Amino acid sequence: MKNLRKVYPGGKAAVRNLSFGLKRGECFGFLGINGAGKTSTMKMLTGDVLPSSGTATLGGFDILTQQIDVRRQIGYCPQFDALFELLTVREHLELFARIKGVSRADLDDVVTEKIHQLNLAAFENKLAGSLSGGNKRKLSVAIAMIGNPQIIFLDEPSTGMDPVSRRFMWDVIAGISTRSKSATIVLTTHSFAAWEVCSI
């Protein structure tokens, strides 16, 4: 990413000339107060909003001119849970696994693994609308991680979680990025605890 900038109507500059690069397996955290530009940066990188200026590539693909290719490389957990209230936990993961190209033959194994990885086994047949805030967040993170994307964006992944669940979430993130090096993770947080799992 080079000189990425976002100015909203009215002249408010949310992101000012941001530049950095990441290697596979690194965990990069944006720590800051509300309004610091964390979510705006993530939305530019995931294609939710266009930058006012600057450039960035993800997995070798340009975020402006190759958005379809970029989206094939990434998983994204937005700041607010975007769930279907009348689908179960398992149905959500099956849906997004198929969207991300997981074959029917592998579907059950992939979904079951993600359910256990995020400690959702007791809730797999529960409707998303009936879940606690913390379990909704776990499901949103599981959706972002399913299909083994190269880059995973997590916007406030531990919001609404109790301290035990929050610690569990940071352990899951550390296992994927800094320990196994299976994906690069970019996250935003208000929590200093996140810095224990971030390599940068």
Domain containing 54 — which CATH number? 3.40.50.300
pLDDT of residue 11: 87
Q: Range of 103's domain? A: 2-196
Mean pLDDT of 143-151: 94
Q: Is the pLDDT of residue 199 over 70?
A: no
Prediction pTM value: 0.90
The amino acid present at 58, given as its one-letter code, is: L
Task: Write the Ramachandran bin of 181: left for phi over 0, alpha for psi from -120 to 50, otherwise beta.
Answer: left
State residue 193's pLDDT score: 64
- Pairing mode, strands 151-155 and 74-77: parallel
| Predicted local confidence at residue 27, as pLDDT | 87
Average pLDDT score over residue span 142-171: 91
Question: How much is the average pLDDT of 101-117?
Answer: 97
pLDDT value, residue 180:
66
Residue 104's pLDDT is what? 96
Number of domains comprising the chain? 1
Ramachandran category for residue 189: left, alpha or beta (phi over 0 → left; psi -120 to 50 → alpha)? beta
Round to whole Å and give the CA distance between 112 and 14: 39
Give pLDDT, residue 195: 63
Contacts made by residues 162-171, CB under 8 angstroms, sequence distance 24+: 162/134, 165/134, 165/138, 166/191, 166/193, 167/193, 168/119, 169/137, 169/138, 169/141, 170/194, 170/196, 170/197, 171/197
E strand or H helix at 30: strand 27-31
How many CB atoms are located within 10 Å of the residue 120 CB?
20
Mean pLDDT of 6-18: 91
CA atoms within 13 Å, Cβ hemisphere of 133: 10
- What is the mean pLDDT of the segment spanning 172-196? 78
Q: How does pLDDT run across 37-67, given as a tens digit for each residue?
A: 899 999 999 989 999 999 999 988 999 999 9
Mean pLDDT of 90-95: 98
Neighbours of 98 (CB within 10 A): 16
Q: Among 105-114, 145-154, 174-183, which is the least confidently predicted range?
A: 174-183
Q: What is the mean pLDDT of the chain?
A: 90
| Crossing angle of the two packed helices 104-117 and 133-145, in degrees rounded to 10 | 140
